[in-house]
Amino acid sequence: MRTAIVTGGASGIGRAVCRELGGRGVHVVVADLDGAGAERVAGEIGGSGVRLDVTDARAVEDLVTGVRDDRGRLDFVFNNAGIAVGGTAEELTLDHWNRTIDVNLRGVVHGVHAAYPVMIRQGFGHIVNTASLAGLVPTPMMAPYAATKHAVVGLSLALRTEAAAHGVKVSVVCPGFVDTPLLDHVNPGLPRTRTGTSARRSAIRAQGRLYSADALAGDIMRGLARDRALIVVPASGRLAWLGARLSPSLAVRVASLAVRRLGRDRRSGDSS
């Protein structure tokens, strides 16, 4: 039976991916900092649940080697765990930056570093890293998040060019705004910022731009079946990506308009 590890699998995109994989007959190891949540999802799909802190390189390596030894193979590793950090650059502390880098970038590095040698030795496997549309287009008020997601895209594409020689596949997922609990937990355990609160979720929802995690999971599976390097969804996300590639300066100007609009809204709120 094919085997997958999904980090951040207790909720949101990770949970949807776990369910999709389970429905396709894959044994899923659901890994999450929320160990109880991981076990709940695993129970729903007949998989295994484990508590995992992706910032702990040794713990990630122990999980990967343990799954390989127990199951005899490792077909997929979804480096999906991440946090949302928002706020204008002047509001952010080094704690915001360091925590984002630790989870969103080093967490992916740890997963790759542990899984890639295993997949090279077995001659197959697919590493799937979750980035974001924020890793492809200008994304103001989320500088640490955008920086790490750009890094994950670069890491994934660089690794893909090397991995093909070993029979290993690498893809990176770049969704637009997805309807997940992540949007309700901006800056978890970090100082709050005026522009990084869950009010952002309400604004996005009002514009009808949130994409369902279940739809995304289906799109991811189709992308993997076609061995896509970049899985950019939904269509509005692909359009934004195309615009940024065709005219980076225009994409920056459009993002700047959003910043100015937010500034006007904040001043209006202060005066009311």
Q: Could you give the residue numbers annotated as active site?
A: 145
CB within 8 A of 222, min separation 6: which ones? none
Question: By 3-state DSSP, what share of the chain in percent is helix, strand and coil, each rounded to 5?
Answer: 60, 15, 25
What is the SS3 assignment for 108?
helix
Place of tokens 């997922």: 173
The whole-angstrom separation of Cα 112 and Cα 146 is 20
The whole-angstrom separation of Cα 272 and Cα 267 is 9
- What are the angstrom distances between the C-alpha of 68 and each of 77, 125, 252? 11, 12, 45
Number of Cβ within a 10 Å radius of residue 15: 27
The whole-angstrom separation of Cα 93 and Cα 40 is 35
The whole-angstrom separation of Cα 45 and Cα 118 is 25
CB within 8 A of 169, min separation 6: which ones? 125, 126, 127, 160, 163, 224, 227
Angle at 239 between CA 244 and CA 222, to 5 degrees: 120
Place of tokens 């630790």: 102
Contact 27, 1 (CB under 8 A): yes
